[in-house]
Amino acid sequence: NERGRANHKASSIEMQGLHKRFGRDTVALDGVDLDIRAGEFFTLLGPSGCGKTTLLRILAGLEEPDAGSLVVGGKNITETPPHQRSVNTVFQSYALFPHLSVRENLAFGLKMRGMPAAERHTKVDEIADFIKLGDLVDRHVDQLSGGQRQRIALARALICEPDVLLLDEPLSALDAGLRSQLQVELLRVQKRLGMTFVFVTHDQQEAMVMSDRIAVLNGGTIQQVGAPREVYERPVNAFVARFMGHDNLYTISARKSDRLITALGELTAEDAGNGELLLIRPETLDLLPGAVEGPNHLTATVAERLYRGSHAEFRLAIGNTTLQATVNNRGRHLPEVGETVTVAVAPEDLVTLHE
Ligand code: ATP
């Protein structure tokens, strides 16, 4: 039953020059400018302490910025108190009332808004149906599993139909299997509702699976904003490259040239220098058995092989440099340690960037 949901209005979010300091020394946000589109699944991604939660709390109105402005759905809400914002939050801890039933938990917000009982009842049935909780509504929260509780927390945040839903690591307390199942569910719900979701995580895989776009944060500043593929395949700096995945990152001794690959043998493994860097994602490399002459081919020796079922990871020695390569296993010869192989590099897969 999706009555009344199709016409839900989503809101865009514009943040400008947001600064937040805690005490004298901690700069949590150091000038954040960010535009989130209406109906977007947008993720704030970054290591612990980078400012993700602070940014989310500012959106929720739970924290006041020292400077900057926040516009949601065309309205400046920088000074608007939390309960007057059409923004709802799902936290990592479920924050449900343990002594109440699922139905009472779901209806709580509606009751606070003065919605009559009959209408509340219908609304709860509707959302429970929508998020496939039908059988659970009359149970007590303390009879539910972690995954079920997290779904109820999500349903409770959705039931008031906010223009924006904020999610602070809502899946991080769940085990891997349940987590990936709920990732898919959450994504489906978001697409069906067309609501703007701002999702916080420090998990790169989760961010890439879920998001329309990702903002990578570090030290209170935004490093890059882009679609998952852009951020992973075309990182704008060394921080994003390292944070998003296994990498081959080299300092380039010569200036970038069209013949980067012939120069590969002269590269030194990443060091503290702040020259130009070359990034080669391990999965973009192709391995051929033996020494094969050819353009963009490098001869290497297998130094290490990690078989991982779906794929295998290799550490390859090329002169004094090591190179990581990831290949899928299907129907492929997997070279042994000590074997000579040829690494085929596609020039378009090389990314040059700065520290
Ligand atoms: P995590 O993934 O660990 O939750 P985060 O990216 O969400 O990290 P924030 O919680 O936004 O990071 O914190 C940013 C910085 O601000 C950190 O250095 C943190 O210690 C500090 N900070 C956050 N809240 C407070 C507070 N209430 N008082 C003092 N310092 C704070």
Q: Find the 223 Cα to ligand 1 centroid distance in Å.
A: 18
In a domain, 5, yes or no: no
Residue closest via CA to ligand 1's atom 21 equals 28
In a domain, 38, yes or no: yes
Atom of ligand 1 nearest to the CA of 56: 11
Domain boundary (211, 233, 255) is at 233
| Residue 180 parent element (H or E) | helix 176-193
173 plus 251 within the same structural domain: no
Dist. CA 76–CA 54, nearest whole Å: 19
In a domain, 341, yes or no: yes
Residue closest via CA to ligand 1's atom 9 equals 51
Return the pLDDT at 257: 44
Domain boundary (180, 211, 233) is at 233
Task: Tell whether pTM > 0.90.
Answer: no
Return the pLDDT at 259: 47
Pocket-forming residues, ligand 1, beta carbon under 6 Å: 22, 26, 28, 46, 48-54, 202
Dist. CA 142–CA 27, nearest whole Å: 39
* Domain containing residue 328: CATH number: 2.40.50.140
* Domain containing residue 130: CATH number: 3.40.50.300
Q: Which of 32, 53, 169, 217 to mutate to test the pocket of ligand 1 (most atoms within 8 A of CB)?
A: 53
Q: Which residues pair with 19 in a beta bridge?
A: 30, 67
pLDDT tens, N- to C-terminus, the chain (355 residues): 344 444 467 899 999 999 999 999 999 999 999 999 999 999 999 999 999 999 999 999 999 999 999 999 999 999 999 988 988 888 766 677 878 888 888 898 888 888 899 999 998 888 888 777 777 888 888 888 888 888 888 888 888 888 899 999 888 877 888 888 888 888 988 888 889 999 999 999 999 999 999 999 999 999 999 999 999 999 999 899 999 987 788 766 544 444 444 545 455 444 434 557 788 899 999 999 999 988 778 889 999 999 998 899 999 998 778 889 999 877 778 899 999 999 988 878 888 887 7
253 plus 227 within the same structural domain: no
Residue 29, amino acid? L
Dist. CA 152–CA 250, nearest whole Å: 47
76 plus 220 within the same structural domain: yes
**DSSP-derived secondary structure for 262-314:** HHGGG-EE--S--S-EEEE-GGG-EEEES----TTEEEEEEEEEEE-SSEEEE
Q: Find the 248 Cα to ligand 1 centroid distance in Å.
A: 31
Q: Can you give the residue range of the structural domain that contains 47?
A: 13-233
Return the pLDDT at 171: 84
- Pairing mode, if any, of strands 221-226 and 268-269? unpaired
Q: Evaluate whether 37 touches 187 at the Cβ level (below 8 Å).
A: no
Return the pLDDT at 258: 40
Q: Find the 190 Cα to ligand 1 centroid distance in Å.
A: 27
Residue closest via CA to ligand 1's atom 7 equals 53
Question: Cα separations (Å) of 70 from 16, 73, 165, 226, 290?
Answer: 7, 10, 15, 20, 59
